[in-house]
Amino acid sequence: MKKTKLKIVSTKSLSKEVIEKALMNDIVVDELPFITTAPINTDELKKTLKGFLQQNITAVFTSKNAAHAFDQIANSEVPWKIFCIGQSTKKFVSKIFGEETISGTADSASELSDVILQDKEIKKVIFFCGKQRREELPQKLKAEEIEVEEIVVYETLETQQKLSRKMYDGILFFSPSAVDSFFSLNKINEQTQIFAIGKTTADAIHKHIKKEIIIAETPSEENIVEQIILHFSTTKIV
């Protein structure tokens, strides 16, 4: 008998490798981005960024979007010490600036703050972020008398849309912004399993619906797809 393919919707675009891995396990992923990001490409910001290029700063990136926005605005090698969150952000930062610039990584903003605080030479960090960045990292560093200069390099825009299918086996969420955009026009059936990239995103989902959420063990596309495969292989025939 031919296996029935599961239908999953991802609230952001995924890599080709992740889509193919899911398909190999009879899981079809519909990609429906619920947010878009755009670099803040002003002359003032360009001037600010160029001022950092040759300085020996400690830089922090908590999203791939921030690194991508910086790369679009001021593509250049830098003599920085860089800290970043997650495997996808680390991979992208390594591609732009070189792996040797990365001094530390973690799976959450709170954990990244702890990593930064272990380096007693750091007195100030430049936090490249979006307009809707969360408070955990700057608050924790400031509490330990680390100066945090925030440079907003991109903005997040909601792209609200209604699901064309009434029923999906699972839905993937990757950010609180996408969660809010999704629930502005959509509801989730009781049978649909929810997956979140991390605890912060899961907390945002719980503001809209009280339901079990499976959270990725590490904040990466690869791991969240592994969680999907594991979950459905043990709960239903695929």
Residue 236 CB partners (closer than 8 Å, separation 6+): none
Secondary structure of residue 153 in the 3-state scheme: strand
- In this structure, which amino acid lies at residue 83? F
pLDDT of residue 183: 96
The full DSSP string for 42-79 is -HHHHHHHHHHTTS--EEEE-SHHHHHHHHHH------
Q: In what order do the strands lie in the sheet with 81-85?
A: 35-39, 147-158, 124-130, 58-61, 81-85, 102-106
Average pLDDT value for residue range 213-233: 91
- The tokens describing 138, both together, are 């700057």
Positions of CATH 3.40.50.10090 in the chain: 6-34+159-235, 37-156
- The tokens describing 37, both together, are 């990001």
Secondary structure of residue 113 in the 3-state scheme: helix
**C-alpha–C-alpha distance, residues 88 and 7, integer Å:** 24
Q: Is the pLDDT of residue 122 over 50?
A: yes
Secondary structure of residue 145 in the 3-state scheme: coil
CATH class of 6-34+159-235: alpha beta
Hey, which CATH number is domain 37-156, 1.10.760.10, 3.40.50.2300, 3.30.365.10, 3.40.50.10090? Answer: 3.40.50.10090
| Helix (H) / strand (E) containing 87 | helix 87-97
pLDDT digits (tens, 9 = 90+) for 128-172: 999 877 788 999 999 999 999 999 999 999 999 999 877 899 999
- In this structure, which amino acid lies at residue 45? L
pLDDT of residue 1: 41
pLDDT digits (tens, 9 = 90+) for 78-95: 889 999 987 788 888 888
Other CB atoms within a 10 A radius of the CB of residue 3 amount to 9
